Amino acid sequence: MINESSAQSSVSAGSRGWSVTVSSDFTYEVGSADGDVRCTVTTDLTIDAGHDGKRFQMSSFRAVGVRENVSSQVHFRDQDGSYRRIGWLIPAVALASREHDKSENEHFLKYAHQVVRWFLANLTIDAIEKAQEETGFGTPIPLSRLLPDDVAFLALSEETYAEILDFDPDRNLLALTARGLIREDFANQLGPLVRPADVDGETIRIQAVSADIDNNELLIRLLATASSVSADPIVRFFYAYQLIEFLLEDVLVNQLSHVKSQLISALQDANASPSDIREANQAVQEELSEKKRLDLLVGSYVGGAGLPSGGRVYTACESLLVALGKPPKKGIQSAYAVRNLVFHSARSLDVGEIPLLEAVADAFVTFLPELLSAYKRPTN
């Protein structure tokens, strides 16, 4: 089916050299640039060519257990705090099925058509030949035969995100990683993903990683490991907390520039006694301690932003500490107490306490994209 008369619209063949056109009988024709048709592909979805001529950035994500009925609009938080739709996340299985509630949504169908064109343009010859063997050479191939399992596609409108100041797609996808949507190039390096993707069909909101943070690839790897690679909550918490340690290192470097003058002043003071120098040195050490830097991180470095998921982290940490009979801690210090427990005495956890640590790991994974977005070095 097609609801636009522009049946001959085509998309660049991409890296594989295929061109993709929509024929008059409502099928996709995949062929070489000179028009030699390699195969015909059918789909049950209505083909809506309303976005032909527009430009999109396409990406594929590994998404364990993703279902056909969880296609989601993707909204990006602009600098003024408002959100705008910039694209869709579409499970591969949704592209060949009418058995989901987005199958009649005109916005979904426009994006789905563009994703299918991009996907077909980048097929390998092996994938085409395998499908032809299964269906019979010369027989149209159902799109469902070509689509991979446990994969979702992200289609971002370049027209829309071009209007957003300093939008960088590579720095804005950590919220997807936290949901267990791992970009294919990273997933191929990380190994099997064991945890199901957390996608329910509701709007997905994403935000940019702070411009004060470098090494975006490391952030994705750590968060992907915490969200998807391991089912062990101890391992998941360990990798999630590495992102906190990553930020604390930056806090340390930044704070050093502020406190070193205090120590230099004490050393250069001709009237300073050994006791004065010792006190100045002790003050610097206290200022740079991990506990102090944690307080600075959630206070000064995120501007007291009141991050929505922060409360969930602290509640989960406090619940675990209470269950273990440990002294209660408040706020970020409860996370530090759990960190010490996991890093130094994880063997003391009983089987009944593992779900509580699982809740801590889940809360951290959700919290980290917010924290990494809000992070900003103080200017004074």
pLDDT digits (tens, 9 = 90+) for 151-201: 999 999 988 877 776 677 677 788 899 999 998 888 888 888 888 999 988
Output the pLDDT for position 270.
66
| Side-chain half-sphere exposure of 113, counting CA atoms within 13 A | 31
Report the C-alpha gap between 91 and 96 in whole angstroms. Answer: 10
Segment 126-150, tens digit of pLDDT: 888 899 889 888 899 999 999 999 9
pLDDT tier at 336, thresholds 50, 70, 90: very high
From the list 244, 252, 277, 278, the residue with the least C-alpha distance to 360 is 244
Give all strands of the β-sheet with 28-32 in edge-to-edge order: 10-11, 18-22, 28-32, 37-42, 141-142
Output the pLDDT for position 292.
87
Which of 96-105, 272-281, 302-311 is most confident?
96-105
pLDDT tier at 262, thresholds 50, 70, 90: low
**Rounded mean pLDDT of 264-289?**
71
Output the pLDDT for position 15.
42
Output the pLDDT for position 8.
28
Output the pLDDT for position 267.
67
Contact 324, 360 (CB under 8 A): no
Output the pLDDT for position 40.
92
User: Which residues neighbour 274 within 8 Å (Cβ) at sequence distance 6 or greater?
Assistant: none
Output the pLDDT for position 16.
54
Report the C-alpha gap between 314 and 303 in whole angstroms. Answer: 18
pLDDT tier at 121, thresholds 50, 70, 90: very high
pLDDT at 106 > cutoff 90: yes
Output the pLDDT for position 380.
65
**Rounded mean pLDDT of 59-64?**
93
The residues facing 74 across adjacent strands are 87, 204
pLDDT tier at 303, thresholds 50, 70, 90: low
Q: What percent of the chain has pLDDT over 70?
A: 87
pLDDT at 1 > cutoff 50: no
pLDDT at 317 > cutoff 60: yes
From the list 291, 338, 288, 296, the residue with the least C-alpha distance to 314 is 338
pLDDT tier at 84, thresholds 50, 70, 90: confident
From the list 248, 250, 235, the residue with the least C-alpha distance to 190 is 235
Output the pLDDT for position 64.
93
Contact 300, 332 (CB under 8 A): no
Output the pLDDT for position 186.
85
Mean pLDDT of the chain: 84
pLDDT at 280 > cutoff 90: no
